[in-house]
Amino acid sequence: MAKKQFGVIGLGTFGSNVAKELAAREFPVLAIDHKEEVVNRISSFVTQAIVADATDDIALKDAGIADCDTVIISMGEDIETSILATLIAKDLGVPNVIVKCTSMWHSKIAVKIGADKVIYPELEMAKKLAESMASPNILEQIEFSKDYNLVEIIAPESLWKKTIRESNIRNKFGVNIIAIKRNVPFINDDGQSDIKEETNIAPGPDDEIMENDILVVVGKEEQLKKFKKL
Amino acid sequence: MEEENTQEQLLELANFYFLNSKFEEAEIEFYKVLEKDPKCWQAYCSLGLIYEERKDFIKAKQMYDKTLELNKENKVAKEHISKITGIDNE
């Protein structure tokens, strides 16, 4: 199967980082911006970098946007250009168009004109920051489905030196520990002390929870909420 | 009278605690090392690792910065700064 092709229109900080990360994962990336200097800067990282106006449908067609499986439109500040570029990408038949938005209205319009996905990094970051301040022990939270979440949480003190069986958290909270991450000190090849992360996937009932462990826990949101309060 | 430990002995003891995950004891000993030798980059770097382990990333970064001040090519400090800041400092 041919590798997916990506197009990135708008090479600000967000767009250029997306383009570089995709290229680093060995995907073909077509990067477009109207500023020559930003295009030059990214040209050594991506498959093809082109100076073009994102509102010029012929220029985008000639650049080969129609051949991309996914196009990421990242011109957050310039809403008008972002909307026109979205429209053109959809008109050219790009199956998956992702638009970076800077406001609720921007995202609503993008969806109405056919964007397949909108992202709102500022809002997502704000949510994550607020969440991390509200519960500083939560390192990561991923929504599995509407009801189920996966959280990475610093092991609460009440569980230190207890085995998973002794902690009894499945019975008490109805959540499951699916992995334990632990930093282990070692001496590296240069003879210097270092620390590496070791992950115990699917820990057994007799595995012990230690201070500073990170527990990866799955459960229903309500149950996790109770567990987080430990 | 009990003889005072040399800087090497203190560092050895600190490393012993560190490698056995006894980070609190290791922290105390690394600071004793620094009292005797304020330019001991190994102590700063290990203290960085201890703070990182405690998720005190601000203090960890300060310790790694200090390590690089004294030993600017130190790989461990560079790698861990990249890890905690998310910025590649190469």
pLDDT tens, residue by residue, A149-192 = 888 888 988 999 999 999 998 898 899 999 999 989 999 988 88
Give the three-class secondary structure for A28. Answer: coil
Give the three-class secondary structure for A44. Answer: coil
Percent share of chain A, pLDDT over 70: 97
pLDDT at B90: 44
Which residues does chain B have within 8 Å of residue A188's beta carbon, measured at their own beta carbons?
Answer: 76
DSSP string, A81-129: HHHHHHHHHHHTT-SEEEEE-SSHHHHHHHHHTT-SEEE-HHHHHHHHH
CA distance A158 to chain B (A): 17
ipTM of the prediction greater than 0.85, yes or no:
no
Determine contact, residues A173/A223, Cβ cutoff 8 Å.
yes
Predicted confidence (pLDDT) at residue B85 exceeds the cutoff of 80:
no
pLDDT at A146: 73
A140: pLDDT confidence band, cut at 50, 70 and 90? confident
Q: Where are the domains of chain B?
A: 7-85
**Between chains, do A195 and B53 touch, taking CB under 8 Å as contact?**
yes
Predicted confidence (pLDDT) at residue A136 exceeds the cutoff of 80:
no
Longest dimension (CA), chain A: 67
pLDDT at B67: 96
Q: Which of A55-59, A177-181, B85-89 has the lowest mean pLDDT?
A: B85-89
User: What is B7-85's CATH superfamily?
Assistant: Tetratricopeptide repeat domain (1.25.40.10)
Residues B24, A64: Cα–Cα separation, whole Å: 59
Nearest to B49 among A154, A190, A195 (CB): A195
As a whole number, mean pLDDT of residues A63-82 equals: 91
Q: What's the sign of the alpha-carbon dihedral A97, A103, A108, A110?
A: negative
Among candidate residues A62, A118, A117, the one with its CA nearest the CA of residue A92: A62
Which residues does chain A have within 8 Å of residue B42's beta carbon, measured at their own beta carbons?
Answer: 192-193
Span B5-39, pLDDT tens digits: 788 899 999 999 999 988 999 999 999 999 999 99
CA distance B83 to chain A (A): 12
CATH code linked to domain A133-228: 3.30.70.1450
Which residues does chain A have within 8 Å of residue B53's beta carbon, measured at their own beta carbons?
Answer: 183, 195, 212
Is domain A6-122 annotated with CATH 3.40.50.2000?
A: no
Most A-contacting residue of B24, B53, B78 (CB-CB within 10 A), to test interface = B53
Predicted confidence (pLDDT) at residue A130 exceeds the cutoff of 90:
no
**Between chains, do A193 and B53 touch, taking CB under 8 Å as contact?**
no
HEC string for B1-60: CCCCCCHHHHHHHHHHHHHCCCHHHHHHHHHHHHHHCCCCHHHHHHHHHHHHHCCCHHHH
Residues A47, A94: Cα–Cα separation, whole Å: 18
A1: pLDDT confidence band, cut at 50, 70 and 90? low
pLDDT at B87: 59
**Between chains, do A194 and B76 touch, taking CB under 8 Å as contact?**
yes
Span A13-30, pLDDT tens digits: 899 999 999 999 999 999
Which residues does chain B have within 8 Å of residue A212's beta carbon, measured at their own beta carbons?
Answer: 53-55
As a whole number, mean pLDDT of residues A65-90 equals: 92
As a whole number, mean pLDDT of residues A111-139 equals: 80
Predicted confidence (pLDDT) at residue B89 exceeds the cutoff of 50:
no
Among candidate residues B87, B27, B89, the one with its CA nearest the CA of residue A193: B27
As a whole number, mean pLDDT of residues A47-61 equals: 93
As a whole number, mean pLDDT of residues A82-88 equals: 95
As a whole number, mean pLDDT of residues B57-72 equals: 94
- Torsion angle (degrees, nearest 10) of CA A82, A86, A87, A90: 170
Rounded to an integer, what is the distance from CA A131 to the centroid of its chain? 16
End-to-end CA distance of chain A: 48
pLDDT at A141: 73
CA distance A55 to chain B (A): 33
Q: Where are the domains of chain A?
A: 6-122, 133-228
CA distance to A154, A187, A209, B21, B30, per residue, from A164 (Å) = 15, 29, 7, 21, 34
Please tell me the total number of residues recorded for chain B in this structure: 90
Q: What is the pTM of this model?
A: 0.57
Among candidate residues A36, A104, A117, A111, the one with its CA nearest the CA of residue A71: A117
Which residues does chain B have within 8 Å of residue A128's beta carbon, measured at their own beta carbons?
Answer: none
CA distance B19 to chain A (A): 5
